[in-house]
Amino acid sequence: MAAPMIAPSILSADFARLGEEADAVTGSDWLHVDVMDAHFVPNLTLGLPVVKSLLKATDIPLDCHLMIDDPGRWAPSYAEAGAYNVTFHAEATDDPIAVAKDIRAAGGKAGLSVKPNTPIEPYLEILKEFDTLLVMSVEPGFGGQSFIPDVLGKARTVRKLVDSGELTLVVEIDGGINVDTVEQAAEAGVDCFVAGSAVYGAADPAAAVRGLREQAGRASAHLSL
């Protein structure tokens, strides 16, 4: 496996100073941007205008996590604007393949996300249309929640398919990742770790990113042997 990727979530950052908050995590692999519409999840955050401003303010590739209804209508615009990875929820659409194709046609990487109680089996066949699988390890909507270890079975299932060459996909996890939980996720074969409160709640966010990456790297070292 390649070196673990860390994606700080700006949900835990100061929204009035997003450019500086992006600078505070220089060296991160992706910057995770949680888009919530107060319909798919019971919370409201930000949308395309803020993402466009962030794209001008940072060189870190943006990982947009759309927790919204009707992703087919909105997701391609994020890719068109220049977001590196655009992830939407399997539960939010009847036609995930069409949405993935539109994201890719707009120049983005396409990600599929599943909530903690959504099984992965029904989606295994279509994962070849995606670049990223985002396994939610909390109920989407809020930062600072506790990690749900039961979801790691989904990461293990998809890791096996990646390792056997059946899929080419980044396995990403989101929710409750911190110094106490990152190792078990790494051992399950996760490639990319989203961390909000563990990074932006730290005195030195860039050091927190480096620490999580090292911890994940040590925990997953045996996986590549």
Is residue 180 annotated as a catalytic residue, yes or no? Answer: no
**63 forms part of the interface with Zn ion (CB under 5 A):** no
User: Which of 5, 21, 33, 65 touches Zn ion (CB under 5 A)?
Assistant: 65
Q: Of the two residues 47 and 175, which places its CB atom closer to ligand DX5 in the complex?
A: 175
Q: Cβ(219)–Cβ(7) under 8 Å? A: no
Give yes or no for residue 34 binding Zn ion (CB under 5 A). yes
Q: 65 labelled as ligand-binding?
A: yes
Shortest distance, position 214 Cβ to ligand DX5, whole Å:
18
For the chain, the maximum distance between any two Cα atoms, rounded to a whole number of angstroms, is 45
Query: Which residues bind to ligand DX5, rule: CB under 6 A?
Result: 9, 11-12, 32, 34, 65, 138, 140-145, 174-177, 194-198
- Rounded CA-CA distance 196/194 in Å is 7
Closest CA to 109 of 169, 35, 160: 169
Tell me: is residue 72 an annotated ligand-binding position. Answer: no
Distance of CA 83 to the CA centre of its chain: 13
Strand, helix or coil for residue 114:
strand
> Least Å distance between CB 113 and ligand DX5?
8
174 catalytic? Reply is: yes
Rounded Cα distance between 54 and 31, Å, is: 10
The annotation places the binding site at 9, 32, 34, 65, 141-144, 174-176, 196-197
> What positions carry a catalytic annotation?
34, 174
